[in-house]
Amino acid sequence: MSGFTPASSMPVFVHRSRRGAELVLLILALAVGIGAYAAVGLGVQEKIPVDIAGYGTWLVALLVAAHIGVRLLAPYADPVLLPLVAMLNGFGLAVIHRLDLAAGASESDAFARQQLIWMTIGVVLFLVTLFVVPDHRMLQRFTYTAGLGAVVMLILPMLPLIGKEINGARIWINLGPVSFQPGEVAKVLLVICFAGYLAVHRDALALAGRRFVGIDLPRGRDLGPLLMMWVISLAILVLQRDLGSSLLFYGLFVVTLYVATERKGWIFVGGVLFAGGVFAAISLFSHVRVRVLTWLNPFDYYPDPLNGTSSGQLVEGLFGMAWGGMIGRGFGSGEPWRVPYANSDFIIPAIGEELGLTALLALLLCYGLIVERGLRTAIVARDDFGKLLSVGLATSVALQTFVVVGGVTGLIPLTGLTTPFLSYGGSSLVANWVIVALLLRVSDQSRRPLPTAPSDEDLAAEETQIVKLDKGAMTK
């Protein structure tokens, strides 16, 4: 045998690197991104944007750089993830540009331009992540550091001077000219922390402990540290009135715990606690109550606000999507500016109005594929930490998409979160690029051919060589 010998005697599927496939898909993704940018120009201004060459070149350069980076640093990584993310990011840029045009933004303060800068930073961090983390298992060393880091990140906006409150949520910090949402970084750190902790303690959590009402409760010393850290995060988020992130972190925790312990009881316990938490939040906090009421009866708060509460954003979004219908009005023919914050939380209705149900279903399929590739990575991962890390990262994308898309389409109450890769928002975009880098890293490790155990021939050759050398030495 000239290749490698698997560790066990079972035949093992050998992954190919598939970088060529990735390149082809990337070209398609670029066609969507640059094509959408041209379509916006044609639809809104009736001409191809003058800067399309520069814009296109920049986008191509970024993605080619990312592709080469993957080729060099993670050659066996999943080939579908990068093109999907590139497509979403490029398409989002075009939609943000379209909303800029509607708002009459000038060149310098245009959101699309800023988003392109954030995307550049995102791709750079993507490459840096792949470079400084040659093996994801080294991250497990930082389990507690990551947990502490997450808590610090979450506390930052509460601090005076650098903390900043925007639209009722105190989740921003000022870093010179730019504002940043540390919660997005905390999300990645928390996933690392959960995965690292649970990879070590999963056996203890699953096996040791007492049985109570049919559920195996783990020992306090096993679950305690994790539980404490999680409660601190949630408490901070509740104080900051960041409902979306609270939901996301809670979901991440329950899911990772379930996968680690393989006990469905955790889903049950999580569900019961969630129901209780929601009930308590509705009765305790007026801002939560308002979200539920506007979700149930949006037209009570539109067009005139009731008791100071307006559902204008939600209703205008729904009107926009209904106006778009199956295939949409076309770029430039809709009125997405009627929805406040259309370029961040409400980018989905803006797309639905101008490109219709068809485009939104296609986008949801892309998100679904990202999650699927992430979970697939978890399944083929060879170590517990890698599995839990991929599960956490994939789940974070799934939950974030569900919470924000479900919120703006009236499926669940509205909680503020950005649509991954599409929405305007630097912190979210950069954090999500890092998530993809980590997923690619785990997938590269899992798909890479196993290190070869020396075969008989090799050993024989080695032996012969030794003999030869010995002979040579003896002749001297």
Partner 1 sequence: MNRPIRTLSVGCLILFVALMLNLTYVQFFKASWYNSRADNRRVTEDAYSQQRGDILVGKKAIATSKPSDDKYEWQRTYPGGKKYAPITGFMSYSYGQSGVERSQNSVLSGKDNKLFTNRLVDLVTNSEPAGGNVELTIDSKVQDAAYEGLTALGDDVQAAAVAIEPSTGRILAMASTPTYNPDRLATHDFGAARKSYDQLSKDDDEPLLNRSIQTALPPGSTFKLVTAAAAMENLGKNPDSKVYGGALLDLPQSDKDLPNESGGSCGGDQITLTRALEVSCNTAFGQLGIDLTKEQQDEQARKFGFGQKYLTDLPNQATSTFTDDLDKLDSPPFRAYSAIGQYNVKATPLQMAMVSAGIANGGTVMKPYIVDRVTSSSLDVIDQGNPTKIDDQPAVSSETAEGLTEMMVSTVENGTAAPAAIPGVTVAGKTGTAQSSKERAPYAWFTSFAPAENPKIAVAVMVQKSGTERSEIAGGRLGGPIAKAMMEAAIS
Tokens standing for residue 397: 């994308």
Should residue 375 be labelled a site residue for partner 1 when binding is judged by CB under 8 A?
A: yes
Among 136, 338, 441, 447, binds partner 1 (CB under 8 A): 338
Q: Which stretch binds partner 1 (CB under 8 A): 56-64, 147-155, 255-263, 433-441?
A: 255-263
Should residue 396 be labelled a site residue for partner 1 when binding is judged by CB under 8 A?
A: no
Tokens standing for residue 63: 């993605």
Should residue 361 be labelled a site residue for partner 1 when binding is judged by CB under 8 A?
A: yes
Should residue 406 be labelled a site residue for partner 1 when binding is judged by CB under 8 A?
A: yes
Among 322, 453, 460, 467, binds partner 1 (CB under 8 A): 322
- Gap between the Cα atoms of 86 and 63, Å rounded: 7
The least distance separating partner 1 from the CB of residue 456, rounded to whole angstroms, comes to 33
Nearer to partner 1, 43 or 163 (CB): 43
Q: Which stretch binds partner 1 (CB under 8 A): 79-87, 160-168, 281-289, 396-404?
A: 396-404
Should residue 262 be labelled a site residue for partner 1 when binding is judged by CB under 8 A?
A: yes
Among 225, 270, 277, 330, binds partner 1 (CB under 8 A): 330
Total site size for partner 1, rule CB under 8 A: 47
Should residue 272 be labelled a site residue for partner 1 when binding is judged by CB under 8 A?
A: no
Among 246, 343, 395, 427, binds partner 1 (CB under 8 A): 395
Should residue 379 be labelled a site residue for partner 1 when binding is judged by CB under 8 A?
A: yes
Should residue 259 be labelled a site residue for partner 1 when binding is judged by CB under 8 A?
A: yes
The least distance separating partner 1 from the CB of residue 376, rounded to whole angstroms, comes to 8
The least distance separating partner 1 from the CB of residue 366, rounded to whole angstroms, comes to 11
Kindly give, in sequence order, each residue whose CB lies less than 8 Å from that of residue 469, ignoring residues fewer than 6 positions away: none
Among 150, 255, 350, 438, binds partner 1 (CB under 8 A): 255
Should residue 387 be labelled a site residue for partner 1 when binding is judged by CB under 8 A?
A: yes
Binding mask 275-314 toward partner 1 (x if CB under 8 A, else -) reads ---------------------------xx-----------
Q: Which stretch binds partner 1 (CB under 8 A): 55-63, 258-266, 268-276, 426-434?
A: 258-266
Angle between helices 243-261 and 182-207 (to 10 degrees): 30
Q: Which residues bind partner 1 (CB under 8 A)?
A: 255, 258-260, 262, 264, 302-303, 318-326, 330, 335, 338, 352, 356-357, 360-361, 364, 367-368, 371-372, 375, 378-379, 384, 387-388, 391, 394-395, 398, 401-402, 405-406, 409-411
